[in-house]
Amino acid sequence: MSDTTFPHRPSAAFFDLDRTLISGSSAFVLGIAAWRGKLVPTHQFVRDAVSALDFALTGASDETSMAVRDRILGVVKDVRVDDLVALNADIVPKLMERVRPESRRLIELHRDAGRATYIVSASPIELVEPLAKALGMTAGIGTRSTIRDGVYTGELDGPFCYGPGKVEAMQALAHEQGLELDRCWAYSDSASDLPMLQAVGHPVAVNPDAKLQRHADQEGWPVVEFRKRTKAVIRRTTQAVGAVGLVAGGFAGGMKWARSH
């Protein structure tokens, strides 16, 4: 993973959050915390939970992607910024418990190589940024909502960080930080992140869903398979896609590559 051939060209590693960096859904953790904090009513929480389950089981489409966007924006609509930020005292520790040990090792390896490390997620930036900092990463890239008089309006303030929106946010960051995306890494479990993976020079599929697995096979991308604890497995159709795992040996000690070139 060395950049010694071009020591003056900056690079970075971008990590999807849900079912890649962590097991499960960060938005669901946020929803529970918002419900318990009485920031969202019970009927909205139940509706959002059903939508999240449907998304996990059926995968992404244009329609479901927009539903996810509306769900995330809806959670924060009419909520005071200070009240949402206050939830991080509960949310961040819970998400830290879900961070995969293998992902921590990958972050460390990229950091040791002198690369910036970023979480890229559709979840609100107010959640993504503190988690990134807690992990010792450079920063978080998340969905930004418009704020008026200290209250979220439920409207976007920038790209929705999902699918092509992730690439838009990454390109803006690359321009700002002088990064060269063709020298960067990206990690994800989902075919919905194909735009993000295709935007960098070093894409890696992590416990990929079936569509991403096929694409990785066709392109010769490395595929990292993390072992799974059965009780923590979340299934998308017939494939397990998100449990805390223990990778044998880690990246440096002989990381298991599935169908790498």
Domain positions in the chain:
12-258
pLDDT, tens only, 15-61: 999 889 998 877 777 777 766 766 665 455 445 554 554 444 444 44
Q: pTM for the whole thing?
A: 0.77
Residue 67 has pLDDT above 70, yes or no: no
- Bridge partners of 187, per DSSP, are 15, 204
Residue 96 has pLDDT above 80, yes or no: yes
Chain centroid to Cα 119, Å, comes to 6
The 3-state DSSP class for residue 150 equals coil
Q: Confidence class of residue 66 from pLDDT cuts 50, 70 and 90? A: low
**Residues carrying an active site annotation:** 16, 18
Q: Choose among 181, 213, 210: nearest CA to 198.
A: 181
Q: Choose among 194, 222, 219: nearest CA to 207.
A: 222
pLDDT, tens only, 112-150: 999 999 999 988 898 899 999 999 999 999 989 999 999
Select from 3.40.640.10, 3.10.20.740, 3.40.50.1000, 3.40.50.800 the CATH code of 12-258. Answer: 3.40.50.1000
Residue 7 has pLDDT above 70, yes or no: no
Residue 210 has, within 13 A of its CA and on its CB side, a CA count of 9
Kindly state the greatest CA–CA separation across the chain.
Answer: 56
